[in-house]
Amino acid sequence: MSAEPQRTFEIERKYDADTDTALPDWSGVPGVVSVSDGEQRELDARYLDTADAALARNGIALRRRTGGPDAGWHIKGPRQGDGRLELGWPLGDAERLPDAVAEMVAQWTDAELHPIARIENSRTAFLLRGADGVIAEFVDDHVRARDLRTGIRREWREWEMELGPAAPDDRSAFFAAVDAAVFAAGGREPSSGSKLARALGL
């Protein structure tokens, strides 16, 4: 496995939605020419941290996720401005933490890592396209999570809109239009900052 990770800077917005809420209408969002059919993805992620939550205290999330186009080991860093850096490595041949990932984690902690949460997600992904390509990806997530420290299970539905390679220059106007479409459909501001936090009851 290569020690050099794939780097992605994610700029996204999250929303809560009820189970029966209809999907938003994106026709009023500036620049959107078409929306793809939904692509179904079944995702299964195991999150790890130390007994004293050393990674979380540094704003870091470590997971091994299967399913979807970016299956692998991921380290999500703390928020930087309006986005967050994600580092990714291939899954490898076993569930053991790969050396390349362990070396990266060592800058925050050398303590033993333990599974803290499992998050399964039935996702439907849509591409919002403009004249120059993919403006953003919208995902409709039905999440089933278990806090592995306590055994508590939680379920919820959430939406995410992440900017794509042909994102508009005026991000504020784009996300303002997205907010309007989401709220018109019955979506809400997110109740938690991340799936992991919500899985852990934070």
pTM of the model as a whole: 0.91
More confident of the two residues 144 and 4: 144
Pair 137, 127: CB distance under 8 Å: yes
Helix (H, G, I), strand (E, B) or coil at 82: coil
Contacts of 104 (CB under 8 A, 6+ apart): 5, 75, 87
Segment 163-180, tens digit of pLDDT: 999 999 999 999 999 999
Q: How confident is the model at residue 93 (pLDDT cuts 50, 70, 90)?
A: confident
Q: How confident is the model at residue 2 (pLDDT cuts 50, 70, 90)?
A: low
Distance between first and last Cα of the chain: 34
Q: How confident is the model at residue 193 (pLDDT cuts 50, 70, 90)?
A: confident
Residues facing 68 on adjacent strands: none
pLDDT for the residue numbered 186: 97
Segment 17-31, tens digit of pLDDT: 999 999 999 999 999
Residues facing 83 on adjacent strands: 80
What does the pLDDT average to over 140-159?
A: 98
Pair 145, 198: CB distance under 8 Å: yes
Helix (H) or strand (E) holding 138: strand 133-147
